[in-house]
């Protein structure tokens, strides 16, 4: 990733920031409604000190139910949702399939993992990258998939990454499972047109340290 900020640390920091903003919103709504801390605390069955700490961003451990109740008393609805940000944690199966590709590469090729997209502040990364110099300098990004469950979602995700990082080839590295082979047989038209280099030719070029010449799928 682009920085040493771990996903778990980033998630906790964002959650603290969210709670702080909610506390500020709560205080503004309470004051605007002419309600005292005592009145809101009594109605929501909590202590004034706990409510005061919430409004001033000084409380970290709090239940969603409490936040919902406190905000409802001052006329606010609370909505939480998750949305795509960075890439998820790489699991053991994903690391294993990346290693199976790495050992197939020619010794002259450069291999990297977790290669960030070239956009400041973007948390996404390619699972890997291969770089070589034969017959001329070239590079290929690697996206590893251990379980293809939604071809359209995969197409959208790859499309967005390629839009934001269009330089070089793309290797879709797929774990060799019955489910994935079945999914590959019914790839979306968009993915079929994206990956034009046959798997055997792609893997043979990488094994010889050569430019594969385009995008391709490798099943290992």
Contacts 24+ apart (CB under 8 A), 108-112: 108/132, 108/133, 108/134, 108/209, 109/206, 109/209
Q: pLDDT by residue (tens digit) across 149-189?
A: 898 999 999 999 999 999 999 999 999 999 999 999 898 88
Q: Does residue 7 have a pLDDT over 90?
A: no
Q: What is the pLDDT of residue 123?
A: 81
pLDDT score for 122: 84
Identify whether residues 14 and 105 lie together within a single domain: no
How far is it, in rounded angstroms, from Cα 29 to Cα 19? Answer: 15
Q: What's the confidence (pLDDT) of residue 4?
A: 52
Q: What whole-number distance in Å separates Cα of residue 115 and Cα of residue 2?
A: 8
Q: Are residues 34 and 104 in the same domain?
A: no
The boundaries of the domain holding residue 43 are 7-73
Q: How far apart are the first and last CA of the chain?
A: 25
* 99 and 49 belong to one structural domain: no
Q: What are the pLDDT digits (tens) for 45-86? A: 999 999 999 999 998 788 999 999 999 999 999 988 776 665
User: What's the pLDDT at 13?
Assistant: 85
Residue 28 sits in the same domain as residue 103? no
Residues 104 and 213 in one domain: yes
- The Cα 212–Cα 207 span in angstroms is 10
Closest CA to 94 of 58, 142, 52, 54: 142
What is the reported pLDDT for 93?
A: 86
Q: How far apart are CA 196 and CA 184, in angstroms?
A: 14
Maximum pairwise Cα distance, the chain: 76
Q: Are 70 and 54 in contact (CB under 8 A)?
A: yes
The answer on 60 and 96 residing in a single domain is no
Residues 100 and 179 in one domain: yes
Q: With residue 111 as reference, give the H or E element that holds it.
A: strand 110-116
**CATH number of residue 24's parent domain:** 1.10.260.40
State the pLDDT confidence band at 3, using cuts at 50, 70 and 90.
very low
Beta bridge partners of residue 216, listed in sequence order: 171, 197
- The answer to whether residue 79 sits within a structural domain is no
**Cα–Cα distance between 117 and 164 in angstroms, integer?**
7
């Amino acid at each position: 990733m682009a920085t040493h900020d771990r996903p778990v640390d980033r998630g906790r920091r964002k959650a603290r920031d969210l709670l702080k903003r909610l506390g500020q919103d709560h205080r503004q709504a309470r004051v605007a409604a002419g309600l005292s801390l005592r009145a809101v605390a009594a109605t929501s069955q909590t202590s004034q000190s706990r409510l005061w700490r919430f409004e001033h961003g000084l409380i970290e451990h709090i239940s969603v139910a409490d936040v919902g109740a406190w905000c409802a008393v001052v006329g606010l609805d609370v909505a939480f949702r998750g949305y795509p940000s960075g890439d998820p944690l790489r699991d053991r199966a994903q690391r294993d399939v990346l290693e199976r590709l790495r050992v197939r590469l020619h010794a002259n090729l450069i291999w990297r993992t977790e290669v960030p997209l070239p956009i400041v502040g973007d948390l996404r990364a390619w699972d890997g990258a291969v770089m070589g110099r034969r017959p001329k300098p070239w590079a290929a990004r690697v996206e590893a998939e251990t379980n293809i469950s939604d071809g359209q979602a995969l197409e959208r995700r790859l499309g967005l990454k390629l839009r934001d990082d269009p330089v070089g080839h793309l290797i879709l590295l797929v774990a060799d499972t019955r489910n994935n082979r079945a999914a590959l047989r019914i790839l979306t038209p968009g993915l079929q047109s994206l990956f034009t280099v046959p798997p055997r030719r792609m893997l043979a070029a990488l094994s010889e340290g050569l430019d594969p010449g385009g995008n391709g799928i490798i099943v290992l």
